[in-house]
Amino acid sequence: MADKRLVIHPEALEEFKTAVSWYLARSESAAHNFVSDVDQAVELILESPLRWPVFDYQTRRFVLRRFPFAIVYREKETAIQILAVAHGRRRPGYWKKRR
C-alpha cells in the first residue's frame, strides 16, 4: 500500500489538546505518556489502517490501553482521516457528523 497522508479533523485536534492540558494540570508524566500513546497509535494506524475492525459509519477505532480514549479514523482514497480523539465514557457517537 502506498503511504497515505494524515488528515486530522480540527475538532479531533482540539480534543487532543484539551486532553493533554487536562493531564498536564494533574501530572506532567501522565501528559507525556498520553501524547506518546497517541503518537504511537497514529503511527500504527498509518502503517496498517485496516488492522482494526470497522466501527460506526465505516470508521475504525484504535482504543488506547492506558487512557480512556480511542482514536476514531477512516481510510480515504489518498488519506487517513482522524475524526476524533474520543473519551470512552463521554457523549458516545458525538463525532458521527464530522466529514
Residue 94 has pLDDT above 70, yes or no: no
CATH topology of domain 5-88: YaeB-like fold (3.30.2310)
**What confidence score (pLDDT) does residue 1 get?**
47
Pairing of the two strands 69-75 and 79-87: antiparallel
Do residues 61 and 55 touch, judged by C-beta distance below 8 A?
yes
- Which amino acid, one-letter code, is at 51? R
Full 3-state SS string of 39-97? HHHHHHHHHCHHHCCECHHHCEEEECCCCCEEEEEEECCCEEEEEEEEECCCCCCHHHH
The reported pTM is 0.88
